[in-house]
Structure 1
Amino acid sequence: MPITTIPPQDADKAMAKGATLVDIRGADEHAREHIAGAIHVPLTRLNELPKVAGPIIFHCKSGMRTQANEAALQAAAASVPCHILEGGLDGWRAAGLPTRLDRKQPLEIMRQVQMAAGGLVLLGVLLGFLVAPVFFSLSAFVGAGLMMAGATGWCGMAKLLQLMPWNRPFPGA
């Protein structure tokens, strides 16, 4: 049975009737903001999806990740009817439906990477023009790192940022 998309309002009604909403985003994304009642099963751990009786609605941030992994989601759902939340969490929020936002959680790692990379590129360009052209190499280094991350799926900057104190759980938490 093919996966169909479902608008946020219809997904909300389906959940009220027993459908299971599954958040496939990373742990950092889910901790920062999620839909109440959604179970968290990251895309990398779909094999741990619990067995459910009713339909399953998968969601990510924008709907792109769920659509790109449609075959894996369908396989994980087995014979249960499944849907993709149209627009993901962003679509849910845009429809005026509530989410749980925890501003005490750090920004998602990929947003931190984007901010750090953008800042380093800008710094390299500014220093290249204002101090010495050798600083343009900083921008080139960051650009090469981003290209490598896109090509391989491994991001050294993300790994480094995950080690930062603001991304570690507090003792006793």
Structure 2
Amino acid sequence: MNPRTTDLITPAELTARSAHATAPTVVDVRTPAEFETAHIPGSINIPLPLVQAHADQLVGDLDRPVVLVCQAGTRARTAHAALTAAGAQQLAVLDGGVAAHTAAGQPVRRGPARWALERQVRLVAGGLVAASILASLRFPKARFLAGGIGVGLATAAITDTCAMGAALSRLPYNRGGRAVTLPDAVQMLRASGSAAS
């Protein structure tokens, strides 16, 4: 993605903007479980798959500054692209995501500990590669699984998407206490908009 099309803000800038009367709405696009583990105070959770599937319906409630957040920035950029394509204009992405926000000493609300989705992807991909190499000692064709994982990871890097991450986000572990629906998302956006007015 062209960096000129994505407005990036730092954690310090987000905290400064949040102190003003015209504070941006902070939309966290991670899974509900990741959001429950740690999130920026005042942020709302609208998972990336919901944003991508319903960008056209959400854009009507994005008539004010919005900062998109994820763990490291990749999913927020993907959400930015989907919402921009649907017509949203006042969007920014938190550079480095919640990880950078936390590292910068900015406030984070914590809940029960869970692994971030990116960490889960590394565990599953690494485990599959190691298992296929070990299995190839007995079944030589098993090494092709390791090659397939390598191709998948390279493709994920080139396209800035991750099929394994998308699949893992659907597991019960990552869904959190309650799934976010389109009506929930619209209600949260409207509530945050009226709070900012």
Q: What TM-score, normalized by structure 1, do the two folds share?
A: 0.67
State the structure with bigger RCO (CA 8 A, min sep 6), 1 or 2: 2
Q: Aligned with 2:138: secondary structure? A: helix
Task: Please identify, of 22-31 and 91-100, the stretch whose mean Cα deviation from structure 2 is larger.
Answer: 22-31
List per-residue Cα deviations over 1:36-58 (Å, max 9, x = no partner). 11111122223346725642111
Residue 127 of structure 2 corresponds to residue 119 of structure 1:
yes
Residue 34 of structure 2 corresponds to residue 29 of structure 1:
yes
Instruction: Show structure 2 runs of 5+ residues with no match.
Output: 178-197
Distance 1:30 1:143 in 2: 33
Q: Using a 3 Å threshold, how does the CA distance of structure 1 residues 92 and 162 change in structure 2: closer, same or farther?
A: same
Match of 1:85 in 2: 94
Please point out which of 91, 97, 102 is paired with 2:106.
97
Please point out which of 144, 150, 153 is paired with 1:140.
144
The Cα shift of 1:21 comes to 0.8
Distance 2:45 2:176 in 1: 18
Q: What amino acid is aligned across from residue 61 of structure 1 in structure 2? A: Q
Residue 16 of structure 2 corresponds to residue 13 of structure 1:
yes
Q: Using a 3 Å threshold, how does the CA distance of structure 1 residues 156 and 54 change in structure 2: closer, same or farther?
A: closer
Distance 1:85 1:169 in 2: 23
Q: Aligned with 1:134: secondary structure? A: coil
Structure having the larger proportion of residues in helix: 2
Q: Aligned with 2:42: secondary structure? A: coil
1:57–1:82 contact (8 Å) kept in structure 2:
yes
2:117–2:165 contact (8 Å) kept in structure 1:
no
Q: Using a 3 Å threshold, how does the CA distance of structure 1 residues 50 and 96 change in structure 2: closer, same or farther?
A: farther
List per-residue Cα deviations over 1:9-51 (Å, max 9, x = no partner). 1211212222211112233322332111111112222334672
Match of 2:183 in 1: none
Q: What TM-score, normalized by structure 2, do the two folds share?
A: 0.61
The Cα shift of 1:62 comes to 1.6
Aligned residues: 161
Task: Please identify, of 113-122 and 141-150, the stretch whose mean Cα deviation from structure 2 is larger.
Answer: 141-150
Q: Using a 3 Å threshold, how does the CA distance of structure 1 residues 169 and 52 change in structure 2: closer, same or farther?
A: closer
Instruction: Show structure 1 runs of 5+ residues with no match.
Output: none
Task: Please identify, of 138-147 and 36-45, the stretch whose mean Cα deviation from structure 2 is larger.
Answer: 138-147
